[in-house]
Amino acid sequence: DQQVKQNSPSLSVQEGRISILNCDYTNSMFDYFLWYKKYPAEGPTFLISISSIKDKNEDGRFTVFLNKSAKHLSLHIVPSQPGDSAVYFCAASDSGSARQLTFGSGTQLTVLP
Partner 1 sequence: KAGVTQTPRYLIKTRGQQVTLSCSPISGHRSVSWYQQTPGQGLQFLFEYFSETQRNKGNFPGRFSGRQFSNSRSEMNVSTLELGDSALYLCASSLARGNEQFFGPGTRLTVL
Cis preceding linkage at 79, omega within 30? yes
End-to-end CA distance of the chain: 38
* Residue-wise DSSP of 14-39: ETTS-EEEEEEE--TT--EEEEEEE-
In the complex, the smallest distance separating the C-beta of residue 61 from partner 1, rounded to whole angstroms, is 18
Which of 69/99 has CB closer to partner 1? 99
Which of 5/79 has CB closer to partner 1? 5
In the complex, the smallest distance separating the C-beta of residue 17 from partner 1, rounded to whole angstroms, is 28
Residues engaged in binding partner 1 (CB under 8 A): 32, 34, 36, 41-46, 49, 51, 89, 91, 93, 97-106
**Which ranges constitute the DSSP H helices of 1-113?**
none
Residue pair 93/48 in contact (Cβ under 8 Å)? The answer is: no
Which of 5/76 has CB closer to partner 1? 5
Which of 19/36 has CB closer to partner 1? 36
In the complex, the smallest distance separating the C-beta of residue 65 from partner 1, rounded to whole angstroms, is 18
DSSP state of 61: T
In the complex, the smallest distance separating the C-beta of residue 75 from partner 1, rounded to whole angstroms, is 15
